[in-house]
Amino acid sequence: METILVTGGSGLVGNAVKTISIDYTGKYNFVFISSKDHNLLHMNETISMFEKYKPSFVIHLAGHVGGLYLNINNKVDMLEKNLLINFNVIKCAHDFKVKKMIACLSTCIFPDKVTYPIDETMLHEGAPHFSNDAYAYAKRLIEVHCKAYRENYGDNFICVTPTNIYGPHDNFNLENGHVLPALIHKCYLAKQNNEDFVIRGSGRPLRQFIFSEDLARLIMILLEKHNEDNIILSVPETQEKSIEYIARLIAQNYDYEHRIKFDKNYSDGQFKKTVSIQKLTNLIGDFNFTSLEKGIQLTVGWFIRQKNNAKL
């Protein structure tokens, strides 16, 4: 049985792949790696991991990630740690003759000044938004690195670019988590303490959110059936929603919508990142995405049940 090695196995998407891996029982041996198992910042530990598991396939999800304010305030850390992790994993995937690797990028890598909707051809047409440029450039280099190995050695290394991911097992930290899980935690605390549910910024920025298990299923479809590079994985443009809309959905799940406030003293970050999924649709046809309403309901429910074990 062939082995699929999943880096970042304890994270949001890694856990989603773990959840759906039951559908592949008897077909693949999944190995989920977290930083507690192997520190991918160090080449010797990365080599040891590949020597131990000898994977046929790699789903590379590991990274040093966080929300808007972590990206703004810790640019050196975001750049250097991600450069090291990605270099080590990609180099070892080549050296150990992995059959196929899917590496996960982020839509923040696309240029700030761009026409919408964004598609895969626009990746290197300008600088990313200043708020997360260090992280974005580190992620862009994954695409450059994988392309170089494809061109020089014929390695089947491809990249996928998901939009904002959310779901169970996310990082719900109030300062360093992404916007949706941080708001889930924040609303919980506001209701517990009988305080206003305060959203930083105006609430006007627009985002496309993809449920983590939907993303995991798309990754497995691409792993098994397609070799196209740099595919945007997202819900359609028509499902783009404002941060205010997201906050109100979250508050509805707590029956706390009447206490929402917006603090416009905080930056909104990039106003929109609208992407096209035409390439994905052409490749696999229609996909039944989990609705935002259902996905948030599932995620809030998971957080309430697992709060003592969640990443806070």
Residue 269 within a domain? no
The residue range of the domain holding 132 is 2-164+211-234+275-289
Evaluate whether 268 touches 207 at the Cβ level (below 8 Å): no
What CATH code is carried by the domain that includes residue 32?
A: 3.40.50.720
Residue 283 within a domain? yes
Q: Give the active site residues.
A: 135
Q: How far apart (Å, rounded) are the C-alpha atoms in residues 66 and 74?
A: 10
Residue 296 within a domain? no
Q: How far apart (Å, rounded) are the C-alpha atoms in residues 245 and 179?
A: 12
Evaluate whether 171 touches 66 at the Cβ level (below 8 Å): yes
Evaluate whether 169 touches 12 at the Cβ level (below 8 Å): yes
Token pair for 176 = 């360093």
Residue 105 within a domain? yes
Evaluate whether 252 touches 258 at the Cβ level (below 8 Å): no
Structural domains in the chain (count): 1
Residue 241 within a domain? no
Evaluate whether 99 touches 80 at the Cβ level (below 8 Å): no
Residue 194 within a domain? no
Residue 181 within a domain? no
Q: How far apart (Å, rounded) are the C-alpha atoms in residues 83 and 93?
A: 15
pTM: 0.92
Digit-by-digit pLDDT tens for the chain (312 residues) are: 999 999 999 999 999 999 999 999 999 999 999 988 999 999 999 999 999 999 999 999 998 776 665 666 678 888 999 999 999 999 999 999 999 999 999 888 888 888 899 999 999 999 988 777 888 899 999 999 999 999 999 999 999 999 999 999 998 988 777 889 999 999 999 999 999 999 988 999 999 999 999 999 999 999 999 988 889 999 999 899 999 999 999 999 999 999 999 998 887 777 888 999 999 999 999 999 999 999 999 999 999 998 877 777
Sole residue written with tokens 């590379």: 60
Sole residue written with tokens 């530990």: 45
Residue 192 within a domain? no
Contacts of 249 (CB under 8 A, 6+ apart): 292, 293, 296
- The DSSP-derived string for the chain is -EEEEEETTTSHHHHHHHHHGGGGTTTEEEEEE-TTT--TTSHHHHHHHHHHH--SEEEE-------HHHHHH-HHHHHHHHHHHHHHHHHHHHHTT-SEEEEE--GGGS-SS--SSB-GGGTTSSPPPGGGHHHHHHHHHHHHHHHHHHHHH---EEEEEE-EEE-TT-B--TTTS-HHHHHHHHHHHHHHTT--EEEES-S--EE-EEEHHHHHHHHHHHHHH---SSEEE---GGG-EEHHHHHHHHHHHTT-GGGEEEETTS----S---B--HHHHHHH----PPPHHHHHHHHHHHHHHHTTTSB-
